[in-house]
Each structure stands twice: as C-alpha cells, then as structure tokens.
Amino acid sequence: MAVLVTLVTTLSIAPAARGSVPEVVAIGDSYMAGVGAGDYTVTDDCRRSAASYAADAARRTASALVDESCPGARIPQVLAQAGKVPATADTVLVQVGGNDAGFSAIAFACLLPFGANCLDQIAQSRASLPAIGEGLREIGAVVRTRSPGAQVVFAGYPRLLASPGACASTPLGSLLDAAEVRAINALQAGLDRTIAAAARASGATYVDWPRAVDRHSLCSSDPWFVTLEPREDALHPTAKAYAAMGRSIAPLLRR
C-alpha cells in the first residue's frame, strides 16, 4: 500500500514536460524585433512587431514567445537581454551584430551625398568583425549559463544588395558605384561568417535568411525591404521577408 501511495504521489507531482507549450526567447536588435514589418505591438523605445520572424515561427509551432529584443541594440545590450533568459527556455533566438558593424553609419556614408567616404566607412566596419565575434561568443556563454538545456540559434543578416550590374539599373545605381556595392556585399558576407563561426564555437545553430529574401533585395524589381520611407523602418525587411525567415526558423522549434 505504501508503494502504491508513493507511486501515485510521484505521478501527480511530476512535470508534464511533453505536453507543455514550447518556450521561445528572442533577443537581439531591430531585425529580431521585426522593424519594417508594421503591426507594432510594442511602440516604446523597444518597438516590436507581431510580424517579426520570431513571432511568425512561434505561431507556426504553437510556441510561447518571450521577446526581449530592442531596435538599436548592440552586443552589450543583447548581453543584458541574455541575462533575462529564463531557465525554462526551449529555444533562444539571437540576432545581433549589424549595429556593432555600423550599418547605420554605412547607410549615411554611402547613400547620402553629404556623408563620409563610403569605402572608408566599410573598411572601419570590417575591422570591427573580430570584436563582434568575441561578443557573440560571450552572449552564447551567458545563454548557456541561464538555460543549459535550451537550443540556441544565431541568425545572420539578409543580403540588401544584388550584383553591381543589377543595382546599376535601379535608383541605387546613382548612389553606389560597382566597387561600393561589392564592398557592402563583402562586408555583409563577412559579418555572416563571423556570426556562423561564433555559433559553432558556442555549440549553437546558425541560420541564414532564405534565398528568396536575397532574390528580393533592394536592387530587385520587387524588393522585400523598406527603402527610405518611413525613415524609422528604412533598410529593414518587410513582412514578406520576415514570414520567409519565420518559415525557415519554425522547423528548428519542432523538437
């Protein structure tokens, strides 16, 4: 009888992990927050969209989303976000590095007539990549400490521009010459390699944006990026791009 009572008691207090709702935590910058997609549910200094790729993937998998992302965040801010990751997290999505690489400074230098020298600014950004990699590994370590059992996913950045030839026939062709387009593309690819290497070093998964998003760059006839208006959303993906990324991320949440 005592054995039966013990068994019943154990069954009644054991957590029903298999039936629980998966918990997804999103940390990062404006690309994680969904800036550019509209449908903003958080409109303070940390503006977030219900159409972000994290929110999209969570809906597709019936997961609960905890979103700590904030536009403008750099690695120090995302380290602070990582410090809020709960021990119960099943998956942690990380998107950061673009602000640390000076994406906004490049936009000013390369797209505005009164900006600094475009290629000089890109060179400065390239020099920041080793420090970005170190910061990303630190974020991975903090997440692992906070939630040892969580799956950690680092996301790269989509390709904003196509080939120099494709861009030359668009309005961007009057702002960027072929060398500048190649340099911007090389920087973006270098940042993605840095993120991928940090993911490997952290025991995390690296995910790039789908090729469909690349095909709809700012130089395409049907861009999936906000161009210049509204200004606060400029050069960010639209809802179509975020949905494509959400579809790519969702299978990782089905564990």
The catalytic site residues sit at 30, 236
Identify the burial level of 83 via C-beta atoms within 10 angstroms of its C-beta, where 0-12 means exposed, 13-18 middle and 19 or more buried.
middle
* Distance between CA atoms of residues 64 and 44, nearest Å: 22
Instruction: Please say whether the beta carbons of 30 and 71 come within 8 A.
Output: yes
* Distance between CA atoms of residues 247 and 225, nearest Å: 18
* Distance between CA atoms of residues 25 and 90, nearest Å: 8
Buried b (16+ CB within 10 A) or exposed e, 140-169: bebbbebbeebbbbbbbbbbbbbebebbbe
* Distance between CA atoms of residues 198 and 200, nearest Å: 5
